[in-house]
């Protein structure tokens, strides 16, 4: 009798192993996929170890009245310093905003005498930097991670909550290329899920060496 019970138990265990194996190979993408876990770990490590970056990026602001698109060159440090220069459209080309982490200054390098003024920080500007996304991601109580299969490659999509207080900026999502580990785009949504700011990266230099003079007020 005991031999029969042992044989039944062994058969059940073997069936359970087979069912588990079938489930693993089902093609579903999620935490059980070791390849995606590895990609996510690499991307998260890249973000957490980022100290600075230099990028060329298109920034689009959307509202109920339409959209405004700017070509920019960005320099930023995780410690809060940043510099952004608008290179297009022509009407605002040469406009530069610099933050040393405490104060913010705006000027236009195409204007004789470099007329400048001190300005207040606004989320519409500070949230477009990848360094802001990283800080929000680390502080978010709940984060979302998914995988997107796109025509030009596989992307990992990370989501972070933006600190409350702004009526139109609620959640940020970052698309990162799984192969190159380069950020592709950063999109900021309002509470209704509408896209408000879209940052698309053309060139991204990870942990670039940035001179202190770039952020001098």
Q: Domain ranges in the chain?
A: 39-215
Mean pLDDT of the chain: 84
Residue 65: pLDDT over 70: yes
Length in residues, the chain: 217
**What does CATH list as the number for 39-215?**
2.50.20.10
Per-residue model confidence (pLDDT) at position 165 = 81
Q: What is the pTM of this model?
A: 0.80
Query: What value does the mean pLDDT take over residues 188-204?
Result: 97
The residue to which tokens 């170890």 are assigned: 49
Looking only at the bridges linking them, the beta strands covering 52-63 and 195-206 are antiparallel
Choose the most confident range, by mean pLDDT, from 26-35, 44-53, 141-150. 44-53
Per-residue model confidence (pLDDT) at position 119 = 87
Distance CA 60, CA 57 (A): 10
Secondary structure of 83-148 as H, E, C letters: EEEEEECHHHCCEEEEECCCCEEEEECCCCCCCEEEECCCHHHHCCCHHHHHHHHHHCCCCEEEEE
Six-digit token string for 134: 């990283």
Angle at the Cα of 54 (from 94 to 82), degrees rounded to 5? 65
């Amino acid at each position: 009798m005991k031999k029969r019970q042992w044989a039944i138990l062994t058969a059940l265990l073997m069936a359970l192993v087979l069912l588990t194996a079938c489930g693993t190979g089902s093609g579903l993408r999620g935490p059980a996929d070791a390849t995606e876990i590895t990609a996510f770990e690499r991307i998260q490590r890249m973000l957490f170890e980022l100290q600075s970056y230099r990028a060329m990026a298109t920034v689009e602001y959307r509202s109920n009245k339409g959209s405004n698109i700017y070509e920019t060159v960005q320099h930023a440090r995780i410690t809060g310093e940043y510099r952004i220069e608008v290179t297009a459209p022509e009407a605002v080309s040469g406009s530069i905003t610099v933050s040393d982490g405490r104060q913010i200054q705006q000027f236009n390098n195409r204007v004789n005498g470099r007329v400048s003024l001190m300005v207040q920080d606004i989320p519409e500007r500070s949230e477009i930097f990848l360094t802001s996304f990283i800080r929000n991601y680390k502080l978010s109580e709940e984060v979302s991670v998914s995988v997107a299969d796109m025509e030009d490659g596989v992307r990992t999509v990370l989501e972070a909550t933006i600190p409350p207080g702004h009526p139109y900026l609620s959640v940020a999502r970052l698309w990162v290329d799984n192969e190159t580990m380069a950020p592709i785009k950063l999109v900021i949504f309002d509470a209704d899920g509408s896209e408000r700011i879209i940052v698309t990266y053309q060139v991204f230099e990870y942990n670039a060496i940035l001179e202190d003079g770039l952020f001098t007020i």
